[in-house]
Every structure is written in structure tokens, then in C-alpha cells.
């Protein structure tokens, strides 16, 4: 992706995701899916007709990444993914999902208080 070859980057991320899945490594698989989403996001501007479908797919991928990180207990990476989702929603003026994502982030930084024992 850095070398300005999105197609090559996408292929590398897809292959990394497949290898990670076979190795049952959810963290690396999540990172590969996140890379795929980044490549897809960079390509959206070039395909105006397919933009809505692409944006929906990017959102799905980022949500999957967040769930994978959550399942592995990697809070820092899940929080980063939530922030990326928030940026994604605000870029697209999608306020309701943005507010829900803010709520999720808030739960990370201010977890609910447990009831006090008597």
C-alpha cells in the first residue's frame, strides 16, 4: 500500500488473512482484514458507482476486525479499530453509527461501576 500499488497490497493482505486463518491466529487475521479495508477505502474514490457497496463492505470488515480483537482480549487494538470506524462514519456523515461507536469507545475508557457489596 505504501508503494502505491493497491492491487498488490490487496493480494498480500488477502494471502496473509488466509494463512492466518489456517494457523488459527485471529490477531494476524484481523490485521490482514484491516489492511484489506484500508486498500478498499483508498480505492472508493475511483469507483463512484460501486462506492455504496464498497463502503458497506469496509464497514463490515472493520466490525469483523473489532470483534476478532475483542474475542482475543486485545483491548488496545479493538479501541484503535473503533476509532477508525468512528473516522469512517464521520467522513461519510453517518451519524447514528458514529454515535454508537462513541458509546462503545466510552465503555472502554469509563467502564460501568460494579455494585458495591454491603
Q: Which three cell numbers stand for residue 80?
A: 484503535
Instruction: Inform me whether the pLDDT recorded for 29 exceeds 90.
Output: yes
User: 3-state class of 118 per DSSP?
Assistant: coil
pLDDT (mean) for 28-35: 94
pLDDT value, residue 101: 83
Question: C-alpha distances in angstroms, 94 versus 22, 30, 86, 100?
Answer: 35, 24, 9, 11
Task: Write out pLDDT tens, residues 33-77.
Answer: 999 998 988 877 655 566 778 888 888 898 899 889 988 988 888
Q: Which long-range contacts link 50-55 to residues 24+ away (Cβ below 8 Å)?
A: 55/92
pLDDT value, residue 91: 81
31-50 burial: b if 16+ Cβ within 10 Å, else e: bbbbbbbbbbbebbeeeeee
pLDDT value, residue 116: 58
Pick the more confident residue, 87 or 29: 29
Q: How many other C-beta atoms can be found within 10 angstroms of the C-beta atom of residue 29?
A: 22
DSSP 8-state symbol, 100: H
Amino acid at each position: 500500500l505504501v508503494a502505491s500499488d493497491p492491487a498488490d497490497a490487496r493480494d498480500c493482505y488477502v494471502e496473509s488473512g488466509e494463512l492466518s486463518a489456517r494457523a488459527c491466529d485471529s490477531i494476524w487475521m484481523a490485521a490482514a482484514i484491516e489492511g484489506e479495508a484500508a486498500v478498499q477505502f483508498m480505492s472508493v474514490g475511483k469507483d463512484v458507482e460501486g462506492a455504496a457497496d464498497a463502503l458497506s463492505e469496509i464497514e463490515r470488515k472493520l466490525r469483523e476486525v473489532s470483534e476478532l480483537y475483542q474475542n482475543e482480549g486485545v483491548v488496545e487494538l479493538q479501541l484503535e479499530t473503533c476509532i477508525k470506524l468512528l473516522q469512517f462514519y464521520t467522513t461519510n456523515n453517518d451519524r447514528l453509527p458514529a454515535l454508537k461507536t462513541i458509546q462503545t469507545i466510552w465503555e472502554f475508557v469509563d467502564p460501568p461501576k460494579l455494585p458495591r457489596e454491603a
